[in-house]
């Protein structure tokens, strides 16, 4: 059982099928910047992928989608654009390191943090921002699954440019960038069943675009030969994720309710309980050694995580919990995150294994 979907979702069958079809086509032999027959075919499928992604996330048109090598690169590039806005830069304390470090690379340490309560909520009504020029607020927090009201923050401070990391929310909850009112959004293909090594950056106002890196580029994408097959697979994976979201959400909710009730009975604490959270994520404070429990579960074929995948080898206190006023000297937290393929009886199965281990 794979319960670490917030770290990585295995490549979907839809993405594999799209890849196989691509490899059999003329487009697989072409560079989209080339006027050759194969080059024009490659450009066509690349633009089809761009248009599909734009439509799926509610972007105005394909030209607002920029392809990158990863979500991390999209974060860095997006922060460079975001922080050009005059005024103070604010970021959520619960951001992924890619956003935090991207902000520091863009503006140094000259930024402020949004207010977050002890339940991990970044609520619009809690924000009293002075001269906000740019705001970065993750849409769905990658560790505890809290869903932030990015739209509400933008409505409170319409003069500020707003960037949302939607990499965790895509495919797990409905996401429409137009309704969110954001100026920028970033995502990575491997978070919803696409391949690693491909991501995208949504830009509302194309006048905000600035170059990133050196070398020739296709359209406004990153420099270098475009990853056409990656874009094709990512678009197919996102389409499949959104088309199956309703059914998977039902499974997520049933699993989460059964699982969290059982874990509380075993002495575990559900972090963020009572907040608006994704139904796919459960973050727990453990009454035992979290790392040992995670490894024991892995030996039984049940795979979960300690928290952010980027910090999965980190065995000290949780930086996120420290930001929420829950500091600890050791790793005491586990994250269970699924894609929606499991049901209530699967939760009972996992609970039985945990009870026997702990």
Question: Kind and range of the H or E element at 232?
Answer: helix 228-243
Q: What is the pLDDT of residues 236-292, one digit of tens each?
A: 999 999 999 999 999 999 999 999 999 999 999 999 999 999 999 999 999 999 999
What is the average pLDDT across 227-240? 98
pLDDT number for residue 314: 58
State residue 48 phi and psi, 5-degree precision: -65, -40
Q: What are the chain's domains?
A: 13-243 (3.40.640.10), 245-357 (3.90.1150.10)
What is the average pLDDT across 86-93? 93
Kindly write down the DSSP assignment for every residue of 53-80, as one continuous string.
HHHHHT-SSGGGEEEES-HHHHHHHHHH
**Placement of tokens 């099928």 in the chain:** 17
pLDDT at 312 over 70: no
pLDDT number for residue 315: 57
pLDDT at 30 over 90: yes
State residue 59 phi and psi, 5-degree precision: -75, 155
pTM exceeds 0.85 for this model = yes
Calpha distance 226→218 (Å, rounded)? 7
Contact 327, 321 (CB under 8 A): yes
Residues pairing with 90 in the sheet: 112, 135
Calpha distance 54→57 (Å, rounded)? 6
Q: pLDDT class for 331, splitting at 50, 70, 90?
A: confident
Task: Report the side by side order of strands in the sheet with 333-337.
Answer: 269-270, 281-285, 333-337
Neighbours of 303 (CB within 10 A): 15
Contact 354, 266 (CB under 8 A): yes
pLDDT at 196 over 90: yes
Contact 179, 58 (CB under 8 A): yes
């Amino acid at each position: 059982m794979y319960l670490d979907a917030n770290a990585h979702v295995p490549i979907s069958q839809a993405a594999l099928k799209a890849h196989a079809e691509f490899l059999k086509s003329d487009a697989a032999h072409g560079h989209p910047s080339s006027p050759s027959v194969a080059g024009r075919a490659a450009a066509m499928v690349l633009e089809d992928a761009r248009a599909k992604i734009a439509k799926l996330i509610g972007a105005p048109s394909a030209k607002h989608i920029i392809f990158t090598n990863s979500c991390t690169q999209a974060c860095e590039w997006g922060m460079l654009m975001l922080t050009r806005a005059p005024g103070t830069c604010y970021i959520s304390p619960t951001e992924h390191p890619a956003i935090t470090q991207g902000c520091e690379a863009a503006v140094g340490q000259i930024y402020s943090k949004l207010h977050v309560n002890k339940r991990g909520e970044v609520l619009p009504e809690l924000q009293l921002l002075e001269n906000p020029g740019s705001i970065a607020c993750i849409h769905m927090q990658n560790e505890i699954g809290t869903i932030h009201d990015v739209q509400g923050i933008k409505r409170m401070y319409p003069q500020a440019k707003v960037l949302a990391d939607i990499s965790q929310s895509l495919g797990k909850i409905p996401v429409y960038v137009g309704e969110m009112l954001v100026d920028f959004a970033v995502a990575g293909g491997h978070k919803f069943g696409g391949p690693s090594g491909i991501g995208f950056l949504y830009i509302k106002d194309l006048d905000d675009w600035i170059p990133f890196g050196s070398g020739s580029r296709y359209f406004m994408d990153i420099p270098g030969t475009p990853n056409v097959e990656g874009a094709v697979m990512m678009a197919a994976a996102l389409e499949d994720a959104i088309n199956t979201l309703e059914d998977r959400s039902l499974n997520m909710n049933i699993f989460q309710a059964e699982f969290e009730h059982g874990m509380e009975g075993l002495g575990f604490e559900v972090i963020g309980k009572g907040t608006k959270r994704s139904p796919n994520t459960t973050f727990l404070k453990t009454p035992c050694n979290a790392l040992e429990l995670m490894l024991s579960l892995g030996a039984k074929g049940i795979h979960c995580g300690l928290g952010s995948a980027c910090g999965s080898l980190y065995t000290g206190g949780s930086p996120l919990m420290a930001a929420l006023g829950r500091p600890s000297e050791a790793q005491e937290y586990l994250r269970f995150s699924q894609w929606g393929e499991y049901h209530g009886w699967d939760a009972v199965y996992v609970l039985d294994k945990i009870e026997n281990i702990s």
